[in-house]
Amino acid sequence: MLKLAPDAEQAQSLLATMRACNAAANRAAEVAYDQRILTFKGRDWVSILTLTGRILVPVAYQGRWLSASGTTMRGQADLVCRDGTLYLAVVIDVPEPPKDGEPDGWLGVDLGIVNLATDSTGQAHSGKAVRAVRYRNLMLRRRLQQKATKSAKRLLKKRRRAEARFARNTNHVISKHLVGKAQDTRSGIALEDLQGIRDRVTVTRAQRADLHSWGFHQLRAFITYKAAIAGVPVRLVDPRNTSRTCPACGHCAKRNRPHRDSFLCVACGFAGPADHIAAINIGRRAVSHAADDAA
Ligand SMILES: [Zn+2]
């Protein structure tokens, strides 16, 4: 996101243009620009076509990768207004980070429902706040749907957007944290290969819907792209039995999971939260995959 620094007049014509486009396209408060109507003049200025003609707007940079060498912006951007400030969400080309061998280690990350993400050091990011917002809106929806008035619909729409924004922001915070942590420890990030998630038998039907929800995919996508920008390798591993295998003795059994959230090895007694155990196994599998690659 690039922060724009338009003067008052420029801001007004940008907002007017935005409003006009939205009325036509019936979209959220965003305008997609392509090369014909938006061009970058160096890195400090952007020329934007508005209803009142073309204007040259100064850019206050925010994305640190943009100043990094080798990145190039594509002439494709969304104009976004947040709390009165105008931003450009730009598409950039990031050069592939140099591959100087294996990272020092792998941070295994288990994505889930109770905890949105748990890493192999045992740090968990709870999904409680997101679920609470979702639940509140669900209840509201039930109440208002009987009314079906115009104002009720408007309120629902507003709430839905706020809910999506909140979930998105949460995913941004979590992914940023995980990638930062991997970067600090010169580690790669290991994730389960998504296909296999469906084979997990420990999730209920209701949770299954959650696993296929956009929020879950969004978090993966955020981790993947933030890692790419930061030069942190991401490796997808075979997800089979990650939550049933004992990291201490290697014993793999369904009975190692007495409850959905806990792990207790029936062979050696090793115990821990199920998602932490899964994250450890995921991280380790990335190491053995590395051995496969080398062979
Ligand atoms: Zn064991």
Instruction: Specify the residue for token string 């932490």.
Output: 276
Residue 16 lies in a domain: yes
d(CA 196, CA 83): 41
pLDDT band for position 289 (cuts 50, 70, 90): low
Ligand 1 centroid–CA 104 distance in Å is 26
Ligand 1 centroid–CA 253 distance in Å is 10
Does 71 lie in the same domain as 10?
A: yes
Residue 100 lies in a domain: no
d(CA 99, CA 290): 14
Does 187 lie in the same domain as 89?
A: no
Among 51-55, 277-281, 282-286, name the one with the lowest average pLDDT. Answer: 51-55
Residue 98 lies in a domain: no
Q: Side chain identity at 35, as an amino acid letter?
A: Q
d(CA 273, CA 260): 9
Q: What is the mean pLDDT of the chain?
A: 81
The percentage of the chain sitting over the pLDDT mark of 90, rounded to a whole number, equals: 34
Q: pLDDT at residue 211 above 80?
A: no
Q: Which of 37-46, 52-61, 103-112 has the highest mean pLDDT?
A: 103-112
pLDDT band for position 133 (cuts 50, 70, 90): confident
Does 70 lie in the same domain as 159?
A: no
Does 67 lie in the same domain as 24?
A: yes
Give me the mean pLDDT over the 171-192 stretch.
94
Chain centre to alpha carbon of residue 210? 15
Q: pLDDT at residue 106 above 90?
A: yes
Ligand 1 centroid–CA 275 distance in Å is 16
Tens of pLDDT, residues 197-206: 544 545 555 5
Q: pLDDT at residue 154 above 80?
A: yes
Give me the mean pLDDT over the 130-151 stretch.
84
- Helix boundaries (H) for 96-231: 128-145, 150-184, 194-197, 205-211, 214-230
Does 171 lie in the same domain as 261?
A: yes
Does 165 lie in the same domain as 51?
A: no
Ligand 1 centroid–CA 257 distance in Å is 12
Please classify residue 112 by burial: count the beta carbons closer than 10 Å to its beta carbon, then call 0-12 exposed, 13-18 middle and 19+ buried. buried
Query: Can you name the residues that pair with 125 across neighbouring β-strands?
Result: 117
Does 191 lie in the same domain as 109?
A: yes
Q: Is the pTM of this model over 0.75?
A: no
Looking at residue 144, which CATH number applies to its domain?
A: 3.30.420
Ligand 1 centroid–CA 115 distance in Å is 24
Does 166 lie in the same domain as 49?
A: no
d(CA 243, CA 254): 9
Between residues 8 and 249, the one the model is more confident about: 249
Does 63 lie in the same domain as 109?
A: no
Ligand 1 centroid–CA 105 distance in Å is 23
Copy the structure tokens of residue 101: 């061998």
Q: What is the pLDDT of residue 28?
A: 47
Does 84 lie in the same domain as 180?
A: no
Q: pLDDT at residue 27 above 60?
A: no
Residue 99 lies in a domain: no
Domain that holds residue 251: 105-294
* 241 phi and psi angles, rounded to 5 deg: 60, 20
Query: Can you name the residues that pair with 85 across neighbouring β-strands?
Result: 82
| Last residue in a domain, options 43, 67, 93 | 93
Look at the chain and report how many structural domains it folds into.
2
Helix (H, G, I), strand (E, B) or coil at 185: coil
Nearest to 155 by CA among 169, 140, 142: 140
Does 147 lie in the same domain as 189?
A: yes
Residue 202 lies in a domain: yes
What letter would DSSP give residue 238? -
Instruction: Specify the residue for token string 């940008």.
Output: 14
Tens of pLDDT, residues 214-271: 677 889 999 999 999 889 999 999 888 999 999 999 999 999 999 989 999 999 999 9
Ligand 1 centroid–CA 103 distance in Å is 28
**DSSP string of 273-286, one letter each residue:** EHHHHHHHHHHHHH
d(CA 242, CA 140): 38
Q: What is the pLDDT of residue 25?
A: 52
Residue 267 lies in a domain: yes
| Last residue in a domain, options 50, 65, 93 | 93
| Last residue in a domain, options 72, 93, 114 | 93
Helix (H, G, I), strand (E, B) or coil at 213: coil
Residue 10 lies in a domain: yes
Ligand 1 centroid–CA 263 distance in Å is 10
Does 264 lie in the same domain as 145?
A: yes
Residue 70 lies in a domain: yes
Ligand 1 centroid–CA 252 distance in Å is 8
